[in-house]
């Protein structure tokens, strides 16, 4: 019997052959992804090698070392999670939350709510402390919440992409030590763009993404865990309820043993290695300064257009600016026209701030003065036309 004789007939109506890939050239000045550095795209555009090849293992070491630099941490357990920022976010909770653990989340924007949702799925007893979107928590407010809830983990978002606010972290780690709890921080929109000193600030767990301050496509996400957090993982009574993100398994691949866990996204490792290499070449101080200078140019230009920023200057992120939509202006019509007529993407408001703000990102490779000029000219034109 031939194979074809026993086989069902191929249903050719399922067959579509689109034209060759044709991607519009966009300037991505929204909440992310940002445009990647062309050197990163070139690094990614190589043949994969085996994920246990000695040459690949060297790249892994380099990636881990450079991540420690950008985060300013000595944490041994620092590695990229295969997936986007949400996967790395989930890794922090999956590994340290045991059913019934009290997890206290600071909610002052959209991503605080995502942390609540995720922690609940790992059966944490989730509590929250809330602030209006665009404001940040003071040390006094955090102390009062720790006293009231006595959590095992306090989770805060360093840079809230939905509001454009920077949560100060100085002193928070000391507070957490005093209350014997772990400090978990979302650095998705801060890494590479604003000062972060994980060890100095006594942060126990952090995660980020590749597609913003690191100028890389999405898909390989920095993750780190302190010795204190590792102790909690090692003392678990229950298995980590997520096989893919279980650090007690992943550390055998990212540690000395190099035991197969899952096939590493090899080309994403090329990409994030190049992205991190470019940050180390520029130097953290220079990168932070560049982000601040470029953002200040944007803020001045927005004021000249008669537009106001949503967040007080003291807590305003240079990586992501929320701009108040003037009365009577259709926010979405403006973003659509910017994209369609000018190939510039900026973000609409998210959640509570939907329709009320635009979100302009100046992150990584895109944090340059010419991009500020381009978006301001286009925005002025679009608003006049509408
Ligand atoms: C603050 C913050 N946390 C988490 C995430 C989730 O990351 P991702 O969309 O890469 O999964 C984002 C995404 O923009 C974010 O801005």
The pLDDT, as a whole number, for residue 6 is: 87
Copy the structure tokens of residue 122: 């790992």
Spans of the chain below 50 pLDDT: none
**Cα-based distances in Å from 372 to 192, 268, 272, 302:** 19, 29, 26, 10
Residue 51 to residue 262: CA distance in whole angstroms: 9
Residue 211 to residue 234: CA distance in whole angstroms: 31
Residue 188 alpha carbon to ligand 1 centre in Å:
6
C-alpha R_g of the chain: 22
The pocket around ligand 1, CB under 6 angstroms, is made up of: 31-32, 84-86, 89, 111, 157, 161, 186, 188-189, 209, 218
Atom 2 in ligand 1: residue holding the nearest Cα:
188
Residue 115 to residue 108: CA distance in whole angstroms: 12
- Tell me the domain boundaries of the chain: 27-33+285-385, 38-280
Burial 91-125 (b: 16+ CB within 10 A, else e): bbbbbbbbeebbbbbbbbbbbbebbbebbeebebb
pLDDT in tens, 223-232: 999 999 999 9
Out of 3.90.1150.180, 3.30.420.40, 3.90.1150.10, 2.60.120.260, the CATH code matching 27-33+285-385 is 3.90.1150.10
The reply to whether 38-280 shares the fold of 27-33+285-385 is no
Please check whether residue 16 is in contact with residue 200, taking contact to mean a CB–CB distance below 8 angstroms.
no
Q: Which of 82, 106, 189 to mutate to test the pocket of ligand 1 (most atoms within 8 A of CB)?
A: 189
Residue 213 alpha carbon to ligand 1 centre in Å:
12
Q: Which of 81, 82, 85, 220 to mutate to test the pocket of ligand 1 (most atoms within 8 A of CB)?
A: 85
pLDDT in tens, 300-310: 999 999 999 99
Residue 128 alpha carbon to ligand 1 centre in Å:
19
**Cα-based distances in Å from 165 to 147, 206, 321, 326, 376:** 25, 18, 8, 20, 21
Residue 371 to residue 130: CA distance in whole angstroms: 35
Residue 221 alpha carbon to ligand 1 centre in Å:
10
Residue 96 alpha carbon to ligand 1 centre in Å:
20
The distance of Cα 18 from the centroid of its chain, to the nearest Å, equals 32
Q: Which of 161, 165, 167 to mutate to test the pocket of ligand 1 (most atoms within 8 A of CB)?
A: 161
User: Which residue, 145, 153, 139, is CA-closest to 184?
Assistant: 153
Q: How many CB atoms lie within 10 A of CB 239?
A: 9
**Cα-based distances in Å from 204 to 123, 152, 153, 188:** 21, 12, 9, 16
Residue 171 to residue 346: CA distance in whole angstroms: 34
Residue 21 to residue 5: CA distance in whole angstroms: 36
User: Which residue, 186, 184, 132, is CA-closest to 158?
Assistant: 186
Q: Using DSSP bridges, classify how beta strands 320-324 and 357-361 pair: parallel, antiparallel or unpaired.
A: antiparallel
pTM of the full predicted structure?
0.97
End-to-end Cα separation, the chain, in angstroms: 69
Residue 6 alpha carbon to ligand 1 centre in Å:
49
Q: Which fold has domain 38-280?
A: 3.40.640
């Amino acid at each position: 019997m031939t194979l074809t004789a026993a086989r069902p007939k191929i249903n050719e109506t399922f067959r579509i052959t689109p034209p060759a890939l044709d991607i519009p050239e966009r300037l991505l000045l929204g909440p992310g992804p940002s445009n990647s550095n062309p050197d990163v795209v070139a690094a990614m555009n190589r043949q994969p090698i085996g994920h246990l090849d000695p040459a690949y293992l060297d790249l892994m070491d380099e990636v881990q070392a450079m991540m420690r630099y950008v985060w300013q941490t000595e944490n041994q357990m620092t590695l990229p999670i295969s997936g986007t920022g949400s996967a790395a976010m989930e890794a922090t909770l999956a590994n340290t939350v045991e059913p019934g653990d009290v997890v206290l989340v600071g909610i002052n924007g959209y991503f605080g709510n995502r942390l609540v949702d995720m922690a609940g799925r790992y059966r944490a007893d989730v509590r929250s402390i809330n602030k209006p979107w665009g404001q940040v928590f003071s040390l006094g407010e955090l102390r009062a919440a720790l006293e009231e809830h006595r959590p095992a983990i306090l989770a805060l978002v360093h840079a809230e992409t939905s509001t454009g606010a920077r949560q100060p972290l100085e002193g928070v780690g000391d507070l957490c030590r005093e209350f014997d709890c772990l400090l978990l921080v979302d650095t998705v929109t801060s890494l590479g763009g604003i000062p972060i000193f994980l060890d100095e600030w006594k942060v126990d767990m952090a995660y980020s993404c590749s597609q913003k301050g690191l100028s890389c496509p999405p898909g390989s996400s920095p993750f780190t865990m302190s010795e204190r957090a590792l102790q909690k993982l090692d003392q678990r009574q229950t298995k980590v309820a997520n096989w893919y993100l279980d650090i007690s398994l992943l550390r055998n691949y990212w540690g000395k043993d190099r035991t197969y866990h899952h096939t590493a996204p090899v080309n994403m490792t090329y990409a994030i290695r190049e992205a991190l290499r470019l940050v180390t070449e520029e130097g953290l101080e220079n990168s932070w300064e560049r982000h601040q200078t470029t953002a200040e140019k944007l803020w001045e230009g927005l004021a000249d257009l008669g537009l106001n920023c949503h967040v007080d200057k003291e807590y305003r992120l240079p990586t992501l600016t929320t701009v108040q939509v003037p009365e009577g202006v259709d926010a979405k019509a403006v973003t659509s026209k910017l994209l369609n007529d000018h190939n510039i993407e900026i973000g609409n408001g998210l959640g509570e701030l939907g329709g009320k703000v635009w979100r302009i990102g100046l992150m990584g490779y895109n944090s340059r003065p010419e991009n500020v000029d381009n978006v301001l000219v286009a925005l002025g034109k679009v608003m006049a036309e509408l």
